[in-house]
Amino acid sequence: MNRRSFLKKSLGSLFTLLGLSGGTFYYAKDVEPILLHVNKNTVASSKIPKAFDQFKIVQFSDTHIGFHYTLEQLKELVTKINGLQADLIVFTGDLVDEPQNFHWDNTIIDILKGLQATKGKFWIYGNHDHGGYGTEVVYNVMEKAGFQLLQNSCVSIKLKDAAFNLAGIDDLMLGKPNINQTLAQVNTNLFTVLLAHEPDFADKAKNHPIDLQLSGHSHGGQIRFPFIGHLYSPAYAENYVQGKYTLNEGRFQLFVSSGIGTTRLPFRFLCKPEINMYTLKSKV
């Protein structure tokens, strides 16, 4: 979906909300966007070593700081994530909404530095990170905050004598994604997790030795209605918009986070912001 179509459908959603009632409009603008909840899921696989049974991966995505999401809210987010006692933290893109207009200083670094995970913190680029000349400045912020970038690359997460692969691909829209480069050094016998900002990349990822893809980008549609679902979603989040999807007869799992912040329009309706926690389970 191009920008014009996105805005057209977004405005249609806005007028729909306005037409419902003043109370609904207030709820969508001022209440639901701050109703942050933790979406907990169990990921089971025979490829997950016993050493990683009950291992916790916490994902947060699409904060879009600067567009109706403040640094004070980011502080609260850090506190909430740390309360989950994650073994691994991953950020799946779109840190600030407009990098070219954001006031960059050490505040955001100090806040993100406060996130704690025993096996590290990793991130990937989203389209808003590359956009607005943000590529280098976002990289520097995340690097100073203790996050390791996965840009068409993969690392091994080790525990005792066991390991699994954690891979990340560059943004589809404004980056240079290369799945073959990403997986070049991967031991295909190991459980492999891919971080991909845009969820529709799953249609390609499922054809590679990947077991689990974690994505964001869609915001879950931001505005949803009963029996209808989302009214719009951005490009590369049209096939997979929210929640869990199982492909390849169960061999490939995709989770799409509804994200933290908002973009284009400052509304959420029946689509609460979320932190995602995945507890690994070793199947015998």
Give the model's pLDDT for residue 252.
98
- The model's pTM is 0.93
Alpha carbons 64 and 82: distance in angstroms, whole number: 20
Give the model's pLDDT for residue 264.
87
List CB contacts of 56: < 8 A, sequence separation 6 or more.
84, 85, 86, 87, 88, 277, 278, 279, 280
Give the model's pLDDT for residue 7.
54
Alpha carbons 24 and 44: distance in angstroms, whole number: 39
Pairing label, strands 88-91, 56-60:
parallel
Residue 102 gets which letter from DSSP?
S
Alpha carbons 130 and 221: distance in angstroms, whole number: 22
Q: Which stretches of the chain score pLDDT less than 50?
A: 1-2
* Max CA distance (Å), the chain: 59
Tell me: the pLDDT tens digits for 139-176?
Answer: 999 999 999 999 999 999 999 999 999 999 999 999 99
Share of the chain above pLDDT 90, in %: 82
Helix-then-strand count for the chain, H and E: 8, 14
